Each structure stands twice: as C-alpha cells, then as structure tokens.
Chain A
Amino acid sequence: MQPSSFFPSPPTPRVMGAVNWRGLGTLYMKEVRRFLNVFTQTLMAPVVTTLLFLAIFTLALGRAVQQVGGVDFALFLAPGLVMMAMVQNAFANTSSSIVIAKVQGNIVDLLMPPLSPTEITLGIVGGGVTRGLLVGLTVALAMWLFVPLRVAHPLFVLYHAVAASLLLALLGLIGGIWAEKFEHISAVTNFVITPFSFLSGTFYSIERLPGMWHGVALWNPFFYMIDGFRYGFIGHADGSPAVGLAVLFGVNLALWLIAHRMIATGYRLKP
C-alpha cells in the first residue's frame, strides 16, 4: 500500500543557505518583544532610577563638587549614568532570558530548531544590545531635558554604546548559562555587575582614587566603557581613549568566543 496515495505528501523541509535568516530573525524578535512587552519595567524604570540618581548626586554634592575634569558636575555625571543604565539592562535582558528558559524548560525550543551556535548567540545577544541601546537613548533624552548634554565625538559615543551593551549582553548570556537558579544570577548581578558599574568612575574621576586603586581601575573594562563614552560627550577622558577602544574590542572578542563555545558544547544547556 502506498501511503502517499492516501495522505498528502509531507511538506518538504525548508531549504536555507549558509545562514538560517528566518530562524535568526525570529529569535531576535522574540528577545526584543520579550522586553518591549513589559516596557514600564524595562524602559521607563531605568529612566526614573537614573534621573533619581542625577537628582540626589547633584543635590548632595552640587556645592561641594563644582567641577570634575573641567566640566560641570552634572555634565560629568550624566554620560556615566546613561552608561550605567545601558550595561545593567543589557545584562539583565540576556541573563534573565536564559535563566527563565532553563528553569521553565523551554530552553529546548532554542536548542531544537536548526540554529547554529553562532546564530543562537547572535539572536540572544542582539536582543540584549537592542535593549541596552534603547534604554541608553531613552535615558539620554530624558536627561537632556535637565542637563545640557552636547556630543563632542559622535563616533566615540556610538562605538562605546554598542561595545558596552555587547559586552554586558555577552556576560549576561554566559552568566545565564552558568546559573542554575535565579539566586545564582541575582548573586552575579549583586556582587559583580552592580559593584563594577558603580565603582568604575561614573560618579567620580578616578584621579581621586588612592595610589594602588588608581592602578587597579585601569585594569577594569567597565572603566573604559564609561570613560570612553564620557569622552564622546565632553571631550575629556581620565584614561587613554585609544587603549579603551582596544580593550573593549579584545574583551568582546574573548567573551564572544566563550559564549559561542558554551552553546556549541551545550554546557549546562543540554543533558
């Protein structure tokens, strides 16, 4: 008996080239819709928090600290705060996406489809970078109402915004894969991401730091993100902008390779 005479022939598998564009696009859109769906939490909340930080710091220190690095304190502070909001959100997007998928078990929906490790990495990290940049843009616009922000080097601003969001999105992906419970990832956020973003020169010039700590700060990639980003706005940097460009590129490359390797081998993803 010929089954084909009774049933319509099954659909032929979709033919795709070197890149599964439709799959990649779907994964990316899923990651973006995930945070747009709750935009009060993912876009508005960072705006409120960042404006609050701006308010309390200028109110508390406005008179004691008039100028930092040759500019008004508020002008010095604003780019750092924008960067802080971007990195925290880029990290939150990828890490929460992976941890929730793992805990709820729908991670298989990510592993089953014909997506290569590169495509998976690109789709998830793309969502994180998009959230970082959107948050950065929203926060910067909101701040611009209060602080006369001016852009001195637009390309520096753009490069650092993308590089920093990418770096934290990759860290979030790696952290999310490593974490087995929500508690693990909240520990990474509390003990790694928040301290680094606070202590990396957002609120003060690292020239303030005592001897040894000044040297330590120069090894901190977060410092270069904030410093380079601020250089793009006010034209003044604490460190060397050229070194910053190279450091961010190198760290991103290394993290990308680690994330790619983790997904390719299925570390803590596949049974």
Chain B
Amino acid sequence: MTAKQAAPENGSAPPLPRQFGAVNWRGLGALLWRGLWRYVKMAGHTVAGPCISSLLFLAVFVLAAGGGAELAPGVPLAQFLVPGIALFQLGHSAFENAGFPVLDDKLEGMIGDILAAPLTPLETLAGYAVPAALNGLLTGIVVLALAWIFVDLRVHDAWVLGGFAAVSALLFALLGTLAGLWADRWEHYAMAENFLILPLGFLSGTFFTLASLPETARGLIAFNPVFYAVDGVRYGLTGHAESSLLLGAAVLLALDLALWLLAWRLFATGYKIKP
C-alpha cells in the first residue's frame, strides 16, 4: 500500500473545496498579478522599447521640421506630438500585452489551466484584458514622464487625460485579446498588428492636424476611433482639441462595451480555445 492511499486513514481529511461568492476574487487576482508581473519581468522589452521609439519619433520630427514649426496654432510642434506619441505607445503596449499572452497560452496549451480553473468567462476575459490595459497605462505614463524631461508639458485637464487614457487602454487591450483569440499562428497575430493597429495608430492624427488633410481623408478619419483617443488625450495635455470631446468619449465607450461583449461571448462559447 502506498503512502498516498494510506493518508486518509491517518485521520487527515482531504481539504475542502474553497468557498467563494459571486466573484472568484482570488482567481481573478492571480490572473491580474500574472499579467502585471509578466510586464515587469520583461521590462527591457515592454518598457524600454516604447521609450526609445517615442524619443526617436520626437527627435526625428523636431529635427526634420527644423524647430519653430507649429502644426496647430498656438501649440508648439513637440507639445503637439507628445500626447499622440504617448497614446500610440499606450495603445500598442495594451494590444501587445493582451494579444501575446492569449496566443502564447493557446499555442503552448497553457490555456487549459485557465479554462479548467473555476473562473467564469467574464473573469477570464477580465484576467487577460484588465492587466493588459493597466500595462498600457503604465507604458503611457513612463513615456510621458520621459518626454517631460525634454518637452515643456503641463496638464491642462487631468480628468479628461486620465479618462481618455483609460478607455483607450481598454479598447486596445480588448482588440489584443480578440486578435489573440482569432489568431492560429504568430503570423496571424503579426498581421493584426501590422495591418490594423499600426495603420489605425499612425493615421489617427498623432502626427498631423485635420487641417493638413485632403477633404476626403478628413471625412474618413472620423471613422478611426484612435483619432478620438488622440484628440482627447491631446486636449487633456494641451487644451487643444479638433473634435467634440463628448462625441469622442461616446464613441470610445460604445466601442469598449461592444468589444467587451464580443470578447465575453467568445470566451463563453470557447471560440478557438475549447475543443
């Protein structure tokens, strides 16, 4: 008789299943912690990369423009660019930190550990998307702090800045989660990144004003949600906005809600994650 089989006879009853209420806070907390720790552990890649690339963008634009240029009246070039660059890095980071773990877990088979745990689909979704959004926010804060060393930045409206940053981070984190769920291979993930996220991010008014666009493009950019995100964050930092903040907030919130429901549904039905 092995020790294992003998154990119950020694009087020690097997541990009782853990009791929890409507939300499995410990399970959710573990996923949250995992996402944040992953980000910190890979800081050389997740933080340093965006910082370098932001400073490079800032440097080449300022050098190419030859100083003094103003894109928008009353806002110096560097101050116009920093909010956009920071938001772009925030979004990219949130996307990457959601898409990468989802697809990695899928390909390595670790998703089974998460599906087998007593977590509802909603908790699973939150466990992937929320830490990714927080990672994105952290990246944005670090990039802003770094840019602040070189550029004179003053916060015009902290609430608008924080609010737009938060909804944008969640938007990109949800896009990343969806991309990770949809992708079967790394190539697919890279496609989503290269052909969706980069164009949306670059053609969003990060680097140019509406006035500099040709007529047709001006109409099209209204369909790019990242445009509203950049605009809101830029208003929060410089007080200069090109569209209605209320409209922007409504678009972003509606999109967040729609993507959240879609991702929730996909986790619940087990799209590409359950056999």
List A residues at the B interface (Cβ < 8 Å). Answer: 38, 40-41, 44-45, 48-49, 52-53, 55-57, 59-65, 183, 186-187, 190-191, 194-195, 198-199, 202-204, 208-209
Contacts and interface: CB of A to CB of B under 8 A. Distances in A.
A48 B198 contact: yes
B191 interface: yes
Contacts of A199: 56, 59-60
Interface string B22-53: 00000000000000000000101100110011
B233 to A, nearest CB: 17
Interface string B190-224: 11001100110011001110001100000000000
B52 A45 contact: no
B203 A56 contact: yes
B48 A190 contact: yes
Contacts of B42: 183
Given A61-B65, A204-B63, A187 B44 contact: yes
Nearest to B80: A60
B149 interface: no
Nearest to B63: A204
B206 A56 contact: yes
Given A48-B194, A190-B52, A56 B207 contact: yes
B61 A208 contact: no
Given A61-B64, A64-B65, A183-B44, 20 more contacts: A40-B187, A44-B194, A55-B202, A56-B206, A57-B64, A60-B71, A60-B207, A60-B208, A60-B212, A65-B64, A65-B65, A183-B42, A187-B44, A190-B45, A190-B49, A194-B52, A199-B60, A202-B60, A204-B63, A208-B66
Contacts of B187: 38, 40-41
B56 A194 contact: yes
Contact of A61 (B69, B198, B199): B69
Contacts of B52: 190-191, 194-195
Which of the listed residues A61, A65, A208 has the most CB atoms from chain B within 10 Å of its own CB? Answer: A61
Nearest to B48: A190
Closest 9 CB pairs of A and B: A64-B69, A45-B194, A59-B208, A56-B207, A204-B64, A203-B60, A203-B64, A52-B202, A198-B56
A64 B65 CA distance: 7
B37 to A, nearest CB: 16
B208 A56 contact: yes
Interface string B6-29: 000000000000000000000000
Given A41-B191, A55-B202, A203 B63 contact: yes
Tell which of B52, B63, B198, B199 has the most Cβ of chain A within 10 Å.
B63
A44 B25 CA distance: 44
A195 B58 CA distance: 12
Interface string B64-79: 1110010100000000
A190 B55 CA distance: 12
A41 B198 CA distance: 13
Contacts of B56: 194-195, 198-199
Given A41-B191, A56-B206, A61 B61 contact: yes
19 contacts: A45-B190, A52-B202, A56-B202, A56-B206, A56-B207, A61-B69, A63-B212, A65-B64, A65-B66, A183-B45, A186-B45, A190-B49, A190-B52, A190-B53, A191-B52, A194-B53, A198-B56, A199-B60, A203-B61
A41 B61 CA distance: 27
Contacts of B61: 57, 60-61, 203
A1 to B, nearest CB: 51
A190 B54 CA distance: 11
Given A60-B208, A61-B61, A65-B65, A48 B45 contact: no
A59 B205 CA distance: 10
Contacts of A48: 194-195, 198-199
Contacts of A186: 44-45, 49
A82 B49 CA distance: 23
Nearest to B187: A38
Contacts of A41: 187, 190-191, 194
Contacts of A198: 56, 59-60
A131 to B, nearest CB: 15
A53 B198 CA distance: 10
